[in-house]
Chains A and B, each alone.
Chain A
Amino acid sequence: EAQVTQNPRYLITVTGKKLTVTCSQNMNHEYMSWYRQDPGLGLRQIYYSMNVEVTDKGDVPEGYKVSRKEKRNFPLILESPSPNQTSLYFCASSLSVRDRVEGYTFGSGTRLTVV
């Protein structure tokens, strides 16, 4: 089944403890992206990747890191999480942004709580 898989689905952590949220897609998509969703603020883009080893900042990159070493994986890293990073996170992928012919396939989301 074609899908974007995020793990974990739920995570509670403490301030300052490094964590990684994984994202993997099995559709051979070039483009991948991370979003956070907060009540009343919609989806805000954190980072995106046009292809392997190519990443760029979205609108809210502060406090996050990403890497794209393989086409299928795009992990989101929080080096020192803070309570204001408590949010619902979505990973998304698309075949090719350059062709602009497809919308995004989203993962099921990761609900992160930082205490």
Chain B
Amino acid sequence: QQPVQSPQAVILREGEDAVINCSSSKALYSVHWYRQKHGEAPVFLMILLKGGEQKGHDKISASFNEKKQQSSLYLTASQLSYSGTYFCGTCRVAGKSTFGDGTTLTVKP
């Protein structure tokens, strides 16, 4: 079952914050986040392996609420380089991964 991402699209000004959510109707092993720029391959951002885990580097962080079967990606003080499509990927069975439809983030000057 594909995870559901929200919102589908976000438009921000530089310096503003954004939150992208990813939820699943079934239990999860792990959640991983990727950013894809137009015409390029997805690039790994971070993976969260267990409930309650939070990770981050620079101004991008994420949390994983295993009980609620959801994860959120937080982008603070957004930069132009943050523009792209963000995907969450989830694993319920080792090896078998499913991705959300993506959230398109546009950061304007």
Contacts and interface: CB of A to CB of B under 8 A. Distances in A.
Contacts of B44: 102-105
Contacts, number: 70
Interface in B32-87: 32, 34, 40-47, 49, 87
The size bracket of the interface on A is 20 to 34
Nearest to A42: B101
Given A90-B42, A103-B32, A58 B47 contact: no
A58 B29 CA distance: 16
A35 B47 CA distance: 19
Interface residues of B, number: 26
Interface string A77-92: 0000000000000100
B97 interface: yes
A59 B49 CA distance: 22
Contacts of A74: none
B102 A42 contact: yes
B41 A50 contact: no
Contacts of B89: 43, 103-104
Contacts of B99: 35, 42-44
Nearest to B100: A42
16 contacts: A42-B87, A42-B100, A43-B89, A45-B96, A45-B97, A50-B95, A97-B94, A98-B94, A100-B49, A101-B47, A103-B46, A103-B47, A105-B44, A106-B42, A108-B40, A109-B40
